[in-house]
Amino acid sequence: MADIRVERHARLLVRYCLNARRRQTVAVNGGAAAEPLLTAVYAELLKRGAYPVLRMVPERVDDLLFAYGKPHHFSEITEYQRAFVRTVDASLSVLASANTRGLSGADPQKQAALAKAQRPLRNVLQKKPWTLTLFPTAAYAQDAEMSLREFEDFVYGAVFADEPDPVEAWRDLGRRQKRMIARLRGADRIRIVGAGTDLAFSVKGRRFINSDGRHNMPSGEIFTTPLEKSAEGHIRYDFPVCHAGREIAGIRLVFRKGRVVEATAEKNEAFLRSMLDVDPGARRLGELGIGTNRRIQRFTRNILFDEKIGGTVHLALGKAYPETGGRNTSALHWDMIKDLRRDGALYVDGKRFRIAL
C-alpha cells in the first residue's frame, strides 16, 4: 500500500518549500532508491503547472567518478553544467543512499578538488529556490541504529508528514523561531561551555535567520555567522561527524583569532586535517546554528537531522551564508554538533540563553 506520508512529504516540498509555480523549470535530483518520493514530487509539480526535470542517479556513479575520473573531471566544469544551473528556476535534491560509506575509500584530495570546482555551480543554484531532503533507506536506518520501519516513522515525524496539515505545522514552528530571534536582537558576545569546551566569539551586527523548512526539510533551527576573526577558545564535539563517506569521531578544535590552530580526532584525524586545508576559509567559522526541532531527539549520523536536534548547537567550518552578513568563503561547509541538553550552556552577552520554543 502507498504510504500517505510520502504524498504529504511531496506536497510539502513542492507547495511549501519550493513554492513551485506555473511554467517554472524545476530540477529534481535523487538516488534511484527514492523513486516513490521522486515520482510523487514529479506528479505534484505537474499539478502546479511546472516543468519538472527529473534525474535519478544510480548508487555507484560517484564511486566510479573517483575511481576512473581524470584530473580535469575534478578541476573543470562543463558548459552543459553552467547552462543547466543558469536555466533552471528551482532545484530539489533528495538524499537516498543505499550505502552511506560508499566513498570511504575515495581520495580526499579529489573530493576536495571536486568541491572547489563545483562551488560556482552551487553559488548559482543557492540564489534560486532550493531544497534538500531525505528519503528513508535501510542504510540510513542502520547508521541511526533503527529498523527501517522505525526510521521511516522518525523521518516522517521530523518533516511533520504525520500531521494532517504539515504546511501549517511548519508555519507554526516558524512563528515560534521568530520569537526566539527577537530575544537575540542586538546580541554581541556568544559563549559555549560544556565538557571539554569553552569557546567564545562575536555575532555583533550579524543577522539570525529563521530556518523553517524552506531549504532543509526537515529543518528547525535559527542560524547566523560569527565574526570571522573573533573565535577564541576550544571545543570538543559530542557526536561523530559523517562527511564524504567517512566518520570522524572525537573532534577537538582550538581557535585563535578566529582560526583553527589545533585539530585532533580520535578517528580519521588525517581526513579532518585534509578538509581543513582545502582553502584558507576552511579553518574559520561560517555558521552558528541553534537546533529547535523537538521531533528530533536522537543522533542518526545524518547531519540533515542531527544539526536540528532540539537543545543542541552546531558550528560550521568554512563557507558563511551571505544573508547573515558573513563574509567567509570556502569550498567547505562542515557542520559539527555540540550537545547542550545535559552538560553545557549557551551564554549571550553574559546571560544564559534558554534554547526552548
Structural domains for the chain: 4-164 (3.40.1830.10), 172-352 (no CATH)
Contact indicator for 345, 293 with CB cutoff of 8 Å: no
Measured CA to CA, the distance from residue 82 to residue 356 in angstroms comes to 43
Going by C-alpha positions, the residue among 354, 275, 353, 296 that lies closest to residue 107 is: 275
Measured CA to CA, the distance from residue 140 to residue 315 in angstroms comes to 23
Burial state string for 15-27 with b = 16 or more CB within 10 A and e = fewer than 16? bbbbebeeebbbb
Burial of 348 (0-12, 13-18, 19+ CB in 10 A): middle
Measured CA to CA, the distance from residue 280 to residue 272 in angstroms comes to 15
Contact indicator for 97, 143 with CB cutoff of 8 Å: no
- What is the three-state SS of 234-280? EEECCCCEEECCEEEECCEEEEECCEEEEEECCECHHHHHHHHCCCH
Measured CA to CA, the distance from residue 235 to residue 228 in angstroms comes to 17
Contact indicator for 283, 317 with CB cutoff of 8 Å: yes
Measured CA to CA, the distance from residue 18 to residue 91 in angstroms comes to 8
Kindly report the backbone phi and psi dihedral angles of residue 235, in degrees, each rounded to the nearest multiple of 5, phi listed first: -145, 140
Measured CA to CA, the distance from residue 211 to residue 304 in angstroms comes to 13
Is pTM beyond 0.85? Reply is: yes
**How big is the CA angle at 67 (ends 64 and 70), to the nearest 5 degrees?**
100
pLDDT in 10s for each residue of the chain, 357 residues:
679 999 999 999 999 999 999 999 999 999 999 999 999 999 999 999 999 999 998 888 988 999 999 999 999 999 999 999 999 999 999 999 998 888 888 888 898 899 889 989 999 999 999 999 999 999 999 999 999 999 999 999 999 999 999 999 999 999 999 999 999 999 999 999 999 999 999 999 999 999 999 999 999 999 999 999 999 999 999 899 887 778 999 999 999 999 999 999 999 999 999 999 989 999 999 999 999 999 999 999 999 999 999 999 999 999 999 999 999 999 899 999 999 998 899 999 999 998 866
DSSP state of 308: T
Give the up-direction half-sphere exposure of residue 123: CA atoms within 13 A in the CB hemisphere.
14
Q: How many Å separate Cα 228 from the centre of its chain?
A: 20
